[in-house]
Each structure stands twice: as C-alpha cells, then as structure tokens.
Amino acid sequence: MSAALASFAAAPASAAPAPDRLLSPDELEAALRDIGARRYHNLHPFHRRLHSGKLDRDQVRAWALNRYYYQAMIPVKDASIVARMEDAALRRIWRQRIVDHDGEAEGDGGIERWLRLTDGLGFPRAYVTSTRGILPATRFAVEAYVHFVRERTLLEAIASSLTELFAPTIISERVAGMLGSYDFVSKDTLAYFDKRMTQAPRDADFALAYAKEHATTPALQAAVLGALTFKCDVLWSQLDALHHAYVDPGLPPPGAWTPGAEA
C-alpha cells in the first residue's frame, strides 16, 4: 500500500471527539448519547417538516422512495457484519437483524412493510425496488455505510449501528406527527415502524453493551465514538440531499424521480 493510501486507511472515521484518557463504560455511554443529542437526524430540518405535517404528498413520497434503499441495504450490511464474526453466539444474535428485515418468507419482514408504505404512496413496486429514481447522494451515503462495516474493525462496525439508541424517540414522534397531519398515510401504511419500536431498543442495547465491554483503551473508545459520528453523518447527508432536491431550492438531479413525472 502506498504511504498516502496507508494514511487514508488509518484515518479516523469522522471528526469525532477523542478521549484523552480511558473513560469508564458509563462515561463512554454518556459520550455516545451526547453525540446523538447533537447529531442525530431527528434534528434535521427535513425531518422536522416531515414530522410536523409541513411537507406535501410528493415530498413525503420522495422520502419514502429514497429511504427504501437504506432499508434494502441494511440486511446487506448486517450480512457483512455476521460474515466477520468468528463467534457463533455473536452471529446467532446478529443474524436476527437480517431476519427482521428479510422475513422468514416472501411477503414478510421489514423491507416488505416498507414497500407497503411506498404502495400506499402510489409508487409501482418495480420502480421502487429498481432504485432508479433515488438521489445519487442517497446511494453514496448508504454505500458508504456498507463499505464502512466491511473495512473497519468489527467493534466499529457494531458501534456504527448505535444510532438505533435514538430511534424509538424519533419513530414515535414521526408516526404520531404523520398520522395527525397527512391524510395520505395510515396506521397500516406506517406499520413498518410498529415493529421497530421493539426491535431497535433490543438491537441498540446489545450493541451498546458490546461497545462498552470491548472499547477498553482510549484509542478503541475514540474509534467507537468516531463510528457513531460517521453514522450520524450517513443519516444526515441523506436528508440534506432530499431537502435540496425536493424542498429548497427543489432541484432534483438528472435521473432522480421528479414529482409529477411517471414513475
């Protein structure tokens, strides 16, 4: 590897705060929660609009269409993580995430439930699953997440899922806000989120306990904090792209789905 490449490979995941001493496990947890409090995507203006009923139907459609790609790639990224686990007990726990999204059979699982939302919003399934209409930035951000878990340490890969610590709050805010504001969504089309209310805390509790147990040096703790910061950036940049394309100034890039155009 060239010197330039070697220094890239060793670069921190993100501009994360690096502890200058070993934090206790509880201090590490507090530092992780502090990152979430400042950087999680519940704070993004696009989400604030989505949850408070300030988007129109096409803007909500754009969100659901793009987010399908995140949903579809989550089991791909989890399969990469499982493939790197040498401990059967760990694999047994992590593989549940893949089952949750893929289901045990056709017509079951989180991806299918997401497609019920895009069905409800009037997109043909073949268009959604082709991912032809998503924003380039959605693709880049989601791919960056998949690459991250392949290339970084297992500890960082596990820690990058820790945004889920903050998911239950945003989900309850989202579902209540959307049901109260939009007549084009229903409890049925938002059913994806019902299961996430129990899955996300179960998954996040495990990942948090793993990170607290295995980040045993300041460098490992910095890596864990960097992984969460990176993941917040993955989520935030997807909303930046949606906002730019569909809210302000409203400039969908060439090839991306355009309101009013045939899907």
Ligand X SMILES: O=C(O)c1cc(C(=O)O)c2c(n1)C(=O)C(=O)c1cc(C(=O)O)[nH]c1-2
Query: What's the rounded Cα separation, in Å, for the pair 103 and 94?
Result: 14
Q: Which is nearer to ligand X, 60 or 74 (CB)?
A: 74
Q: Which residues bind ligand X (CB under 6 A)?
A: 74, 161, 163-164, 167, 170-171, 196, 235
Nearest approach, Cβ of 243 to ligand X (angstroms)? 15
Nearest approach, Cβ of 61 to ligand X (angstroms)? 17
Nearest approach, Cβ of 196 to ligand X (angstroms)? 5
Q: Which is nearer to ligand X, 19 or 161 (CB)?
A: 161
Nearest-CB residue for ligand X: 163
Q: Which residue has the tokens 């084009």?
A: 184
Question: Alpha carbon 233 to chain centroid distance?
Answer: 10
Q: Which amino acid is at 157?
A: A
Nearest approach, Cβ of 248 to ligand X (angstroms)? 21
Query: What's the rounded Cα separation, in Å, for the pair 77 and 219?
Result: 24
Nearest approach, Cβ of 257 to ligand X (angstroms)? 20
Contact 47, 239 (CB under 8 A): yes
Q: Which is nearer to ligand X, 50 or 222 (CB)?
A: 50
Q: Which is nearer to ligand X, 163 or 221 (CB)?
A: 163
Q: Which is nearer to ligand X, 19 or 170 (CB)?
A: 170
